Amino acid sequence: MKKLDKKVLIVTGASKGLGISMAEICASEGALVVLAARSRDELEAVASRIRSLGSEAEAVVTDMSKPQDLENLVIRTLSRFGRIDGLINNAGVNYVKPFLEITPAEWQRVLDVDLTGSFLLTQLCARQMRRQGTGGSIVQIASVHTHASLVGAAPYDAAKHGMVGFSKAAAVELAPFGIRVNILSPGLCETEIWKEIVDAAPSEKECIDYWNANIPGHRLIKPEEIARCCVFLLSDDSSCITGANIFADLGMTSLLVSREPYASKVIGGE
C-alpha cells in the first residue's frame, strides 16, 4: 500500500518550486491533492500533470492573505473529496530588505501571508479533522531561519519563528484528537529562490563557492527531498512525532562558522 493511500491533502504554494514537488510526490504516494496558489494557469498545469499520471487533483486559486480565500479552499476541498486528512502549509513570501528601511506595510504583508494565513488555514483544517474524528497531520514549512538569521530577513524571520510558536501550541492542544502538527525547516533548495540568489551574485561560481562553504553537504537540496520528508510526516510512519521542528538542511544549522578558504593544518591536543 502507498504511504498516503486515499488521504485528502491540501498543499499551499503548489504552483512553484517546493510546492510542485510536494504535490506530485504526495500524489504518487496515493494522496488526493488539492492545490492552492494565486496563479490559476500554473496551478492548472500542475493539476493536469498529476491527473495525467492517474492521480486525482483539484486546483483552487487562493491568496493566503485573504481569510475568505482560505475558507473557500476548505469548502472546495470538502465539496470535492468530503474530508481533510492532511495539510502542507508551504506558501510564503520571501523578503529581503535592510532592517531600518522596512515599512509597516512591508512588514505586515509578509506576516499576513507567511504567519497569519498559515495560522488561519491550520485552524480551519484542524477543526474539520476534529469533526471527522479520525485524526490528521499538518506540516508547516518554515526555514533554517528559525535557528539563525541573515541580513535583511527581519519580517521573514519573525513570521517563521511565529509559525513554530503557534504550531507547537497547536500540537499540544490537538494531540488528544489524534491531530499531529510538525514543522519542517529546509535549508537552501534548488528552487526559484536559488536562481534569484545566483542572479544577485557577481558570478555563479562565486555564489556556489560561498554557499558550499556554509553547507556541510556541499550541495543544494532538491525539492523532491523536502517532499519526501513531508510524505514521512504526513504518513503513519511518523505517528509518534508531533510538535517537532525538523531541520532538513544538509547540516547548515550545525555549522558554527563557514569553512576556511584554505587548508588548515592539524591542531594537536598536546
Cell of 184: 519542517
Cell of 108: 505586515
Largest CA distance in the chain: 71
Q: Which of 95, 156, 210, 262 is catalytic?
A: 156
> 79 exposed, middle or buried (CB, 10 Å; 0-12, 13-18, 19+)?
exposed
95 is catalytic: no
35: β partners: 11, 59
Instruction: Note whether 141 and 89 are within 8 A (CB).
Output: yes
Instruction: Note whether 58 and 80 are within 8 A (CB).
Output: yes
Instruction: Note whether 29 and 4 are within 8 A (CB).
Output: yes
Q: State the Cα–Cα distance between residues 82 and 77, nearest whole angstrom.
A: 7
Cell 496551478: give the residue.
43
Instruction: Note whether 118 and 140 are within 8 A (CB).
Output: yes
Give 90's contacts (C-beta < 8 A, 6+ positions apart). Answer: 11, 12, 13, 14, 18, 19, 22, 141
Nearest Cα neighbor of 139 from 156, 164, 109, 117 is 164
Nearest Cα neighbor of 30 from 4, 60, 68, 10 is 4
Q: Which helix (H) or strand (E) holds 192?
A: helix 192-200
| Residues annotated catalytic, as ranges | 156
